[in-house]
């Protein structure tokens, strides 16, 4: 919505997926998000970029672990 800085999405968002090895070659900017298939000790998680690099110049990705499964009760 112009003027509100809000994007409304009424459908499911399908994130692209990468392995941790593939993330090494992905340039991230602050706010980048990807579904990482093995980034939580071999389990899937979300990976979020803050646009930071380490001392070797590699981009740093932060892990957002998937919690308990969705439940209506």
Q: Report the pLDDT value the prediction gives residue 46, as an integer from 0 to 100.
A: 96
How high is the pLDDT of residue 29? 87
Q: Identify which of 28, 67, 63, 60 has the alpha carbon closest to the alpha carbon of residue 47.
A: 63
The mean pLDDT value for 41-56 works out to 93
On whether the CB atoms of residues 46 and 35 are closer than 8 A, the answer is: yes
Dump pLDDT digits (tens) for 14-46: 998 999 999 888 888 899 999 999 999 999 999
Distances (CA, A) of 14 to 8, 17, 39, 49: 15, 9, 18, 18
Q: Which candidate, 73, 51, 44, 2, places its Cα nearest to that of 63? A: 44
Average pLDDT value for residue range 55-67: 91
Model's pTM, two decimal places? 0.80
Q: What is the pLDDT of residue 41?
A: 95
């Amino acid at each position: 919505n112009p003027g509100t800085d809000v994007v409304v999405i009424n459908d499911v968002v399908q994130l692209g997926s990468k392995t941790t090895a593939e993330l090494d070659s992905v340039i991230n900017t602050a706010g980048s998000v990807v579904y990482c298939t093995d980034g939580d000790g071999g389990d899937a998680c979300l990976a979020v970029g803050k646009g930071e690099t380490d001392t070797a110049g590699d981009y740093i990705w932060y892990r957002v672990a998937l919690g308990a499964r969705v439940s209506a009760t």
